Amino acid sequence: MIQITRHSETREDIPTILHEFRSYPVSKSLLFLFMEFLPEDEAAAVIRFIQSEIPGLPVVGSTSFGGVGYSADKVYPQRFIFSFLSFEEAGAKIVYTDLDRSTEWQAAMETNLTFADLPNLKGIFLLTAGLETRVQVYMDKVHNSFSSIPLFGMSASSGSIVPFDYPSFIFSGDHISDHAIAAVAFYGKDLHIEANDEFGWTPLGRKMTVTKVGPEIIVHEIDNQPAVNIYKRYLGLNPNQITVENTCEFPVFKVSGEHRMARISNEACENGAIRFGAPLAVGDEIRFSYGNPPDILRETEQNVRKLSAFAPQAMFVIGCLNRILFLNEDGEKELSWFPQVFPDALVLHGNSEFFMDHSGGGELNSALVFAVLREGESAHKDAVNSLPHTQSHNEEMISFARRLLTFLDVTTHELENLRENLSEEVDRKTEEIIRQQNELNQAHLRIVMTLSNAIDAKDAYTNGHSLRVAKYAAEIAKRFGYDQHRQDEVYMIGLLHDVGKIGVPDAIINKPGRLTDEEFAEIRKHPAIGAEILSAITEFPQIAYGAHWHHERWDGRGYPDGLKGEAIPEIAQIISVADAYDAMTSTRSYRTVMSREKVRSEIEKGRGTQFSPRFADIMLEMIDEDPDYTMRGNTLKSEKSEV
């Protein structure tokens, strides 16, 4: 494999540059071309000229965002960059996808993901323009099918910040579009590719969550507040001050696998929204970060030395414009190190960088992406030692910026750990409170059941009456729409609705014959007695409602208070119809069990006079669903019977 990279400041140099490529077989070659911003017709004319000079030569590239080129000893204004690749046994396939706004772009992506037919696929170089949020979808689709290979590249520009009257274009052959993807797939049995990304910024501050996003890489809310608020709070910036120049030192970032993906704020929008340089999604956890330039450069230097040991035959380097802006002159120096290792390296910068491998990744900002290729055996050589050394971490004098950054990083993590520990402690306490509450509820239920059984035991004919009324009442409440907590309350109230009978003599309760007026007057006292007993439970005042008013009637002719209609508490309305149903379906001292038809007739007759119409209707519904008359007695299924 051979890579030849040439730069030109004028179109007049192009024929001379192309002449250098003629000696290589077209079938084994590929030309990467990057041009300054040009109108579509002018860019297309340059491409046609190249194709006429070297027919059949595949050409792929873009009109690029930016304006500098890099070599080992020179940084200069860029108009054209040519990077020619020629293989021995390996090869490259260009897959071009035009994703115009009117296109069903997801279907187009699926149609053009045609890498599966390539033998020994080793890596993909991705170029995009004008796609905004769509490029991540494309990368995810590729990664899902080819997760073991690196995917690297860049977006040429973002339509929201291009300072020209025309956008960037992606081109391949006769195709050119401002909404397109060109994927160059490298393959070959003896082809080796090593690729990686470098961020260099250190996280600062607490985690925040993206809670509302819009189209065109706009974030509306972070932590349910306007997105601009975080810049006001943490950086002291008003909306009109949120620019790349004012935020480049402090990009926010999220984590994907082992990769940090920064997001640069380009501008504030209406209603407190922010337009970022790459997309964020609802649920993304983000943090601010800060980069110490000496540390960033030191990491790059170490990576460059590692790449030199690979003995590359081709090299691609992509830097972010925000990174260059942040590092100032050091940004140009950082990119110029790569051609010192491999003079024909293709060194570019774009709007966003792409990198994905088995450990995650995606669309980056503020990062540096690099890939080296070699054909044949993977040879290694000693790292280049001629690069300038940055200050060592072990030297006695450590910069103030680095010391401050370390301090902030450590204190941030300590505060986060404290918050997490407090959160875990709250969770443990909450679980313990819930457990104790459940135990307390069970204890209360056992006490209530014991009291209920004692009440029913006073009357040999009504044993189990309170439990059955509780079951019927809970079922009515469930069908009416009560939640589980309120159903449980109704059940408890049903168990104790006759607690006042404790104050009525046993002789009256168990008298087999007809009661005298005086004896019936004693019986009618049990609602008031029950209400007085249960009124002592101040934590649950409603528990007395069923005992107090379950003998009230809808027409106002009940006792003890003659309440009418909706003046009767709803819980008492439910207990009333449940109590009547059990009374009619159980053997009493003065009669036997009524027939199902008779019970239904009595409930229907009492609808709107004795009983609340809505709860009478539910009881009638329950009766109709029980044609075999199995609901009466102890046969109603309920978990509440197991105590």
Distant-in-sequence, close-in-space partners of 379: CB < 8 Å, separation ≥ 6: 311
Helix (H) or strand (E) holding 469: helix 465-480
- Check pLDDT > 90 for residue 380: no
Name the nearest CA neighbour of 357 among 459, 437, 258.
258
Highest mean pLDDT among 61-65, 162-166, 344-348: 344-348
The arithmetic mean of pLDDT across residues 318-343, rounded, is 83
35 beta partners:
63, 80
Instruction: Supply the pLDDT for residue 129.
Output: 85
- Check pLDDT > 60 for residue 638: no
Instruction: Supply the pLDDT for residue 59.
Output: 96
Query: What sign does the dihedral 503-505-511-514 (CA atoms) show?
Result: negative
Query: Per-residue pLDDT tens for 589-604?
Result: 666 789 999 999 999 9
Task: Evaluate whether 151 touches 140 at the Cβ level (below 8 Å).
Answer: no
- Which CATH number, 1.10.3210.10, 1.10.10.10, 3.40.50.2300, 3.40.50.620, labels domain 432-641? 1.10.3210.10
The C-alpha atoms of residue 152 and residue 142 are separated, in whole angstroms, by: 12
As given in the structure block, the two tokens for residue 127 are 């170029």
Highest mean pLDDT among 60-74, 414-428, 525-539, 602-616: 602-616
SS3 label, residue 311:
coil
The C-alpha atoms of residue 1 and residue 344 are separated, in whole angstroms, by: 12
- Check pLDDT > 80 for residue 457: no
Instruction: Supply the pLDDT for residue 459.
Output: 60
**What confidence tier does 445 reach under pLDDT thresholds 50, 70, 90?**
low
Where are the CATH 1.10.3210.10 domain residues in the chain? 432-641
Q: In this structure, how many other beta carbons lie within 10 angstroms of the beta carbon of residue 130? A: 24
Instruction: Supply the pLDDT for residue 523.
Output: 85
3-state secondary structure 263-309: ECEEEECHHHCEEECCCCCCCCEEEEEECCHHHHHHHHHHHHHHHHH
SS3 label, residue 27:
helix
Distant-in-sequence, close-in-space partners of 216: CB < 8 Å, separation ≥ 6: 132, 133, 160, 275
Question: How far is CA 322 from each of CA 76, 128, 167, 497, rounded to the nearest angstrom?
Answer: 19, 18, 19, 75
Q: Please state whether beta strands 346-350 and 314-320 pair in parallel, antiparallel, or not at all (unpaired).
A: parallel
Query: Per-residue pLDDT tens for 2-49?
Result: 999 998 888 889 999 999 999 999 999 999 999 887 888 988 999 999
The arithmetic mean of pLDDT across residues 188-206, rounded, is 88
Query: Per-residue pLDDT tens for 551-579?
Result: 999 999 999 999 999 999 999 999 999 99
Task: Evaluate whether 204 touches 289 at the Cβ level (below 8 Å).
Answer: yes
Distant-in-sequence, close-in-space partners of 110: CB < 8 Å, separation ≥ 6: 141
- Check pLDDT > 60 for residue 418: yes
Query: Per-residue pLDDT tens for 273-308?
Result: 999 888 899 999 999 888 778 888 888 888 888 888
Instruction: Supply the pLDDT for residue 383.
Output: 53
Query: Per-residue pLDDT tens for 36-68?
Result: 878 889 889 999 999 999 999 999 999 875 444
Average pLDDT in the chain: 82
Instruction: Supply the pLDDT for residue 226.
Output: 95
